[in-house]
Amino acid sequence: MIVRRARKHSNVVGGGGAAEMEVSKFLREHSRSIQGKQQLIINAYAKAFEIIPALISENAGFDSTDILNKLRQKHAQGGTWFGVDIEKEGICDTFESFVWEPTLVKTNAVVAATEACCMILSVDVTIKAESSQQEQQQQMAGAGRGRGMPMRGGMRR
């Protein structure tokens, strides 16, 4: 299906995690201009994009931490299309090495992953909201007794 889409849509991006690293770099730079919790959310989203080149390097048997550090450095210097080079156990300009991915496939993958994440987060919030309401109801039910020791074994005379 990827080859079929590449033939229909001629736009491509660099493979080997290059596109993900560039998006991650952009998001990290953007997060520096934001304050509060939104900055943490954008940083977490940026970190999630770096999982792709990390998995590529791990699957090839490389040290993913070393590869990611090299990629971060190269992308910070303006190397837009640098990704994992599995032939030389390092990084390379994936556009020059003819490691490409169709833009449509990459866009669909990012959109689908983002929607799945939002769905999981919305379900998590719903579950948390119900449990907190139950806790509040239990606290309200026990609040009517007043102070002192709870009564045990029925009423005393």
Determine, yes or no, domain membership for 69: yes
Q: Give the closest residue to 17 by CA, choosing from 66, 67, 65, 61.
A: 67
Q: How many CB atoms lie within 10 A of CB 45?
A: 16
Residues 6 or more apart whose CB falls under 8 angstroms from that of 93 comprise 14, 79, 81, 82
What is the value of pTM for the model shown?
0.73
Determine, yes or no, domain membership for 134: no
pLDDT tens track, the chain, 157 positions: 767 777 888 899 999 999 999 999 999 999 999 999 999 999 999 999 999 999 999 999 999 999 999 999 999 999 999 999 999 999 999 999 999 988 988 999 999 999 998 888 887 666 666 656 666 666 666 655 555 555 565 555 4
The CATH number of whichever domain residue 38 belongs to comes to 1.10.560.10
- Total structural domains in the chain? 1
The secondary element (H helix, E strand) that includes residue 14 is strand 12-14
Determine, yes or no, domain membership for 132: no
What range defines the domain where residue 73 resides? 2-102
Determine, yes or no, domain membership for 96: yes
What's the rounded Cα separation, in Å, for the pair 110 and 117?
11
Determine, yes or no, domain membership for 27: yes
Determine, yes or no, domain membership for 10: yes
